[in-house]
Structures are given as structure tokens and as C-alpha cells.
Structure 1
């Protein structure tokens, strides 16, 4: 299925293929498209239009997934495609993105959970609706590619596609792809999976894409100083901050501004460092405690997606990452049906936030991932 590109050491498909590349306007997706084009494949770049103007956000210099500065990213992607020598299309997905990602994001925060819009977007929009819409627009392609730092390998014996960590451990993005299906993985190409960010930058400079290296990377979901810009004033209702004994120690500015494990911005008076332990949405109350209070030895994850289609066993041990920036911890995972698991950590974990993704690893391989529903079993 794969061959090696001798110039850059990137594993690409054998023979000339028709490939659609999701281009964000950044250096990673541009280099991914360039590598595939240089291999002689028939490459088309596609950029999503997702900003719908539903919120009063001011355009800033920062790049973000959702905001009025989207036109800059589209023009950057179009310019990169022109330099690479490939056609580029713009795909209108604002209505779908609002419904599938923005509404989800808002709903989760208002329910006291901490959403992960990248997991949601990748599952439904970027690897789902984007290629589907491109086909409707008449683009003929066999593979879909992105600039994610992760790898896909096909097991010749079973035919199962495995999702693996990227070789650059500092940039690995396999966590964000944990909800992809076998159908999506079979036609997925990740040209940067075997490269480091340093190598990608070197390639960009060598191939005339140096301007993209200087562009700030998109780190935020919303183009604003604070994600609460997506909430109306009446949705940000102040309420009590209480300690674990139930004593009122402060006032919060609206539960959508907080996440489990948070310390900054609490504005409480205490001789100890306090962290958000729990968010009680129905009572509009934030519970704080010491760091130890905000630790847990178990959690419940729901709507689990298994990369191979099924869990490896009814009970198994693996590394579990409960946030993207979390290094991971060993745990026993116990299945409850096909889509629900209890995670029993070997050691207590800090800041396990309902709404985040729990992603399971066997070495470099992603076993699957689900949504943390409760920081207790």
C-alpha cells in the first residue's frame, strides 16, 4: 500500500492516485499537499468555510478555527495551492459546522462539561462532511489527506487499519483522530506522520512555502480572547463557589468559564491553592478543593469508538490520556457493553474533566476513545 519517498522519507501510496487534501491555510497541510503532488499524484486542495457571523467577534491577528479572520486562512491555502501547482476549492460548511460543532461546544459548557471541539470536528466535519461535500461538488478522489502528525498502517493479514502516534512525540495528534472509523481510515493519508515539525519547516522553506512558516499556528477554537465570547450575557449567570464542605468561598462569573482542574481566575480567598473539583450545572455552582481533592482514581467514558471496530477484550490494561496535553497513565479498562467503559487508573489523576476525550493506547497504537461522562465510576 505504501512506498517510500527517498527525498523526504515520507511513506506515500504506490502508483498515481487521486487525492483530496484538507488545507487549513497553515504550513502542515500545505506541506502534506506538496509532498503528495511532488510524488506525481493528482492532488486537489480543499478548504472549509465555517464562519457564519452568528456571534459578534472582532477580527484579530490570531488564527483560530472559528471567527471572522477565516478569509485570511482561505487566501493562505489558495496561495499555497497555487505555488504547489494544484487546484483548490472552497467548501461551504458553515451551517453544518455551527450545528455539529459550535452548538455542541456551547451545550457542553452549559451542562458543566469541558468540550473538545477538535475531536468532534474531526469525527463529523473534517473527515466526514468535507470529503462528502467535495464529492457532491464533482471532485473525483480515492484518498483523503491532512497535515496531522499521526500514522495509519494497514494490517495485511486482517485488513484492519491501525491508527498510530506520529513520530514527532511533541506534535503527535493521534489523540484528535481517535473517533475515526475503519471506513475513514482506509482512505486516509497522513504524509507528515513520519516527520518532525522541524523537518516540515525545512521542507516548506526549501519548496517555496517559507511565508507559511511565519504564520502563527491555529491554537484556539474561537477567534477571541476568551471562549465565553460564544455565550450570551444571560447564559453567563454568576453563582456560588463552594468548598468541599459546602461553605461559600466566592462567586463565579458563569459555569461556562470554568473547567475541572482550573486554578486561575477563581478569585477566592484561601490559605491553600484551590482548584475546580466539580461543576454542578443544575445548581449553577462551582466546587473547589485542594489539588488532592481534584484528583480521581477512576472515571466513566461513554460513546466509545474502537479503532478496530470492537474492544480488544472485556477487560484490558493500556495507557489512557484524559486530555490532549496529558502524558497518559496506565489503567485497567473495563467494558460495559460495546460503547461504555470504566477506567481504573493505577495512580490518581488530576483534573479529569467530564466532556474531554479519554483515549486508549497500546504502545503507539490507538485502541479507541470515548467521552468522559463522570470523574467517578
Structure 2
């Protein structure tokens, strides 16, 4: 069953309200359930106009206003908390540093770990709140022995457990996801918002990176890291093109390579490797992307850590499917082997392990073992 912290009595709940429809309905449901709810919008930029515009539901000035209007309709107190400096250090600077090192980070996952369920939760607990409520589609389940587990949302099409896989047992004990176990689809959530009189009912979802206003990730990185011309080479080391910064590429990328001549077999080429040391990008055929295994670092367990090898499924990106794996903790890391080769696996991404609907934990991919390399040995 799904429970909230200290179930059985009304809770003092801090509802993180982004200005979007999901967090507004989540706050309304928490209040309707009888909890003492206070809404808070996180100001994540010292200059909000530099963040995304167009009422996308996350970090702009108009998002703050939308959140305030929703709180007024729900009838709960509302505040704006300035976490801009913490967000800059823990999310934006981490994002830039990861790309500079040739890795592919997930800033939403980092925001959940460092901001919403660290900085925000710590402040909430210090102020006497019992739980932080968000509009994420996931469920917290309490087992008979009192352990908290993170489970997938009942609506798998909207499931966001992947970006919450960094939450530990303490954080889960103070997390509330009112949308996660209802099975309501997004159209049904919007219809509920309209019935409640929430003006955000028809507001578009947020999909882009909130701190890149125009959606141009490569331009954003160039503005912070500068340009640095380098070579694009094939698997044999022959130069087939040039680039203005290796940080602008990700493993598995096909578009935007600007390669002057086609591959000998005429097939598309993909980014296979990124070397920040010599500023080189290596490209090759799709089959060269096949990955048999990976090692990951900084594991975060949603409950008790596994004590040995086990069979799980793994998700490798926020909107990706599950694949069967065997996984085993290795001291301060994790070793994962795929039952069948997978593609598009990049260092810096998170690998999240599942046991059925339960999230076992998450770790950051450090290295991969390619099928092509294994075949050459």
C-alpha cells in the first residue's frame, strides 16, 4: 500500500509548486486529504528572464505567478524560496563540467537529488514540516517492516521514477507523490485541474532543460566553454571532419556531425567516443555502439543495498524502456551486464535498476564494454 510519512494523522506538508499543472494538482490533492499544506516555488535563477520563457512550467517569472495563483485557488499559504546559488553550483555547473569531461549528464535527476530532496527537504524538516510533496509520477510504498520503497507510477506512460532513483531511504520517508498511484492519465489530470478551477489546466508540459532558454544546448556550452576546433575521425583514425568543441557531442549522436564525405558503405555514422584530452570525436557505424556491460559509480540505493549479484531490469534514459540485466555492487560502484547488447549508452548517464515496479537504486555510468571491442580480443 502507498502511505505518507506518519500516516494516520494530518501532516505538515511543503508542496513544491513549479507553476505547472502536475504540481498544482498534487498540492490540491494533499490539501483535500486533510494535510496542512504550504506551497513554495523555487527561484532557481538570479535572473529568471535568462531561463525558459513561454509558460512551460518550471523556472520563469510567469511560472512563479502561476504557482501563486494556483495556491490562492487551493487556499494554502505560498512562498518563494531563493535557491538560485545552490542550483547554479549543484546543477548548472555540474552540467557544464560533465559535458566538458566528455560525459552526458541528466540535470533533472541532479536537481531532484541536490535541490528538491536535499536543499529543499532539509530546510522543510528544519522548519517542522513532515513531508515534501511534488507532482512527480511515482509511488512511495511502505513495507510491513516500515521500509520505504520507490515504485513506478501506476500510469507507466508518465512514470518519472527514473529521475527519482537517486532518493535514499531517509528522503523517501519524507516524500509525497499524490499523482503516482492513482493511474490517472495526463488528460485526466488536466481535467481535474480544470474542475478545481486551476488556470494551469491547459499549460504545456516542460520538456527542455530549464536553464537553457532557447533549447540550444551546444550554444549554451559554447558560451561557457568557448570554441575549440578539433578533428572528427573514423575508427581507423582518419580525419573525416572538424568540430568547434567536443563537448557539443553525445555518444550515439547521428545528426549535426557535419562530415564532409559519406562512409565507404554509404551508411550513417554515429558518435562512438568523445575524447576531451585531445578534443577528438570518433564516429563509426551503428553496430559499433553495441554495449555488453558497464561499470557505474556513486550508487544511490532506494532501500537496502544489494549484497551480491542479481537479475534486474535497467533503464538508461528518462524516456527509455527497460532491458534485462545482471548487476552486482563492487565496493563503491556497480557492475552491470546486459542480456542483449544495447546502444546509446553514454558515460555520465544514470543507470537505474528495477525489481519489477520497485526502484532498487541508481548509479552514474563511468565506462562501457563494447561488443566490437570484445570481438577483437
TM-score of the superposed pair, with normalisation by structure 2? 0.90
Q: 2:217, 2:204 → 1: CA distance?
A: 19
The answer to whether the Cα contact below 8 Å between 2:12 and 2:130 also exists between their aligned partners in 1 is yes
Q: 1:2, 1:365 → 2: CA distance?
A: 13
The answer to whether the aligner puts 1:44 opposite 2:38 as a matched pair is yes
Going from structure 1 to structure 2, the CA distance change for 1:110 and 1:216 (only over 3 Å counts) comes to same
The answer to whether the Cα contact below 8 Å between 1:261 and 1:352 also exists between their aligned partners in 2 is yes
Going from structure 1 to structure 2, the CA distance change for 1:309 and 1:59 (only over 3 Å counts) comes to closer
Match of 2:240 in 1: 249
Match of 1:361 in 2: 354
Match of 2:280 in 1: 285
SS of equivalent residue, structure 1 residue 201: helix
1:41-98 per-residue CA deviation (whole Å, 9 max, x = no partner) reads: 11001111111249x94863263756xxx11111111110011100011111111110
Residue 225 of structure 1 and its aligned partner are, at CA, apart by: 2.7
The answer to whether the Cα contact below 8 Å between 1:65 and 1:223 also exists between their aligned partners in 2 is no
Q: 1:161, 1:253 → 2: CA distance?
A: 47
Residue 128 of structure 1 and its aligned partner are, at CA, apart by: 1.1
Going from structure 1 to structure 2, the CA distance change for 1:304 and 1:327 (only over 3 Å counts) comes to same
Match of 2:223 in 1: 232
Going from structure 1 to structure 2, the CA distance change for 1:90 and 1:135 (only over 3 Å counts) comes to farther
The answer to whether the Cα contact below 8 Å between 1:47 and 1:90 also exists between their aligned partners in 2 is yes
1:286-335 per-residue CA deviation (whole Å, 9 max, x = no partner) reads: 11111101121111111111111312x31111101111122021111122
Residue 165 of structure 1 and its aligned partner are, at CA, apart by: 0.2
The answer to whether the aligner puts 1:305 opposite 2:338 as a matched pair is no
- After the TM superposition, list the runs of 4 or more consecutive aligned residues in structure 1 that deviate by more than 4 angstroms: 1-4, 56-59
Q: 1:58, 1:310 → 2: CA distance?
A: 38
The answer to whether the aligner puts 1:205 opposite 2:194 as a matched pair is yes
The answer to whether the Cα contact below 8 Å between 2:295 and 2:336 also exists between their aligned partners in 1 is yes
The answer to whether the Cα contact below 8 Å between 1:2 and 1:12 also exists between their aligned partners in 2 is no
The answer to whether the aligner puts 1:190 opposite 2:185 as a matched pair is no
Match of 2:53 in 1: 60
Match of 1:122 in 2: 112
SS of equivalent residue, structure 2 residue 255: coil
The answer to whether the Cα contact below 8 Å between 2:73 and 2:197 also exists between their aligned partners in 1 is yes
Match of 1:7 in 2: none
Match of 1:176 in 2: 163
1:123-157 per-residue CA deviation (whole Å, 9 max, x = no partner) reads: 11111101323456xx4321111100000011122
Q: 1:214, 1:366 → 2: CA distance?
A: 31
Match of 1:71 in 2: 61
The answer to whether the Cα contact below 8 Å between 1:91 and 1:130 also exists between their aligned partners in 2 is no
RMSD of Structure 2 on Structure 1 (CA) = 2.2
Residue 2 of structure 1 and its aligned partner are, at CA, apart by: 5.7
Q: 1:14, 1:203 → 2: CA distance?
A: 26
Residue 233 of structure 1 and its aligned partner are, at CA, apart by: 6.5
Residue 236 of structure 1 and its aligned partner are, at CA, apart by: 2.8
Structure 2, unmatched stretches of 5+, are 371-377
Aligned equivalent of 1:164, options 148, 151, 172: 151
Residue 3 of structure 1 and its aligned partner are, at CA, apart by: 7.2
Going from structure 1 to structure 2, the CA distance change for 1:58 and 1:108 (only over 3 Å counts) comes to closer
The answer to whether the aligner puts 1:31 opposite 2:1 as a matched pair is no
SS of equivalent residue, structure 2 residue 156: coil
Q: 2:122, 2:76 → 1: CA distance?
A: 20
Match of 1:294 in 2: 289
Residue 17 of structure 1 and its aligned partner are, at CA, apart by: 1.5
- How many positions carry a matched residue from both structures? 361
Match of 2:373 in 1: none
TM-score of the superposed pair, with normalisation by structure 1? 0.90
SS of equivalent residue, structure 2 residue 118: helix
